[in-house]
Amino acid sequence: MSTSAGRRSTSRGRHMTSVSTKPMSAARRKTLATQQITNVAGSNQTLAVTAALEVIAERLAWDPNVQQSLREKYAELLELSQPKPRGGTGSVPKPKGTLGLGEFSSLGKLDPYVLSRNYEPWELRQVLGSATAARLKQAIEVVQEHEPGTAPKNRTKKADMIDYIVEHVVGPGY
């Protein structure tokens, strides 16, 4: 049996299920390692893991290959446990005046024209990035009141809604 591009195939060339390329989480790796240890040492998980740790500690004292392997595994797990950067826009800029993202038009809708007066043109996209999809739809309604016959490419994708609002409120290029 050979493997190629994440798939297993038999000698007849049939493809079996694809193997995921997504790395296992640290928690999943711990569970699998614990299962492997208990399969070898015995069913008492606490005693089995303690015994494995003692064996590894003894080997670490004299085996540089085990030391290096431990450092590599630790680095992998450390990277997996780091919080992932969010797809958001980071921190929201401070408004020039007292009006912020929570301010709305007299009808209770998010008004990007009012909002744009309190932020620099290049900041509006970032400010809108922290708004919910529902609030962005309200802002689109406000823009469409000012510019009838216009519409975003897509009313379900935040990026498309923000592109539409920014282009019509502060102009193209922001």
Residue 5 has pLDDT above 60, yes or no: no
If one compares 6 and 93, the residue with the highest pLDDT of the two is: 93
Residue 93 has pLDDT above 80, yes or no: no
pTM of the model: 0.45
- Using pLDDT thresholds of 50, 70 and 90, give the confidence band for residue 99: low
Residue ranges covered by each domain of the chain: 23-81, 112-169
Return the SS3 of 162. Answer: helix
- Using pLDDT thresholds of 50, 70 and 90, give the confidence band for residue 96: low
Type of residue numbered 68: Q
For residue 110, what are the β-bridge partners? 104
What's the rounded Cα separation, in Å, for the pair 34 and 30?
Answer: 6
pLDDT value for 46:
93
- Using pLDDT thresholds of 50, 70 and 90, give the confidence band for residue 6: very low
pLDDT value for 8:
43
In terms of average pLDDT, the best of 16-20, 60-64, 80-84 is 60-64
Q: What is the mean pLDDT of residues 118-145?
A: 89
Q: What is the mean pLDDT of residues 97-103?
A: 53
Residue 15 has pLDDT above 70, yes or no: no
Count Cβ atoms below 10 Å from residue 49 Cβ, excluding itself.
16
Q: DSSP string spanning 142-158?
A: HHHHHSTT---S-SS-H
User: What length is written for the chain?
Assistant: 174
Which residue matches tokens 């994440």?
6
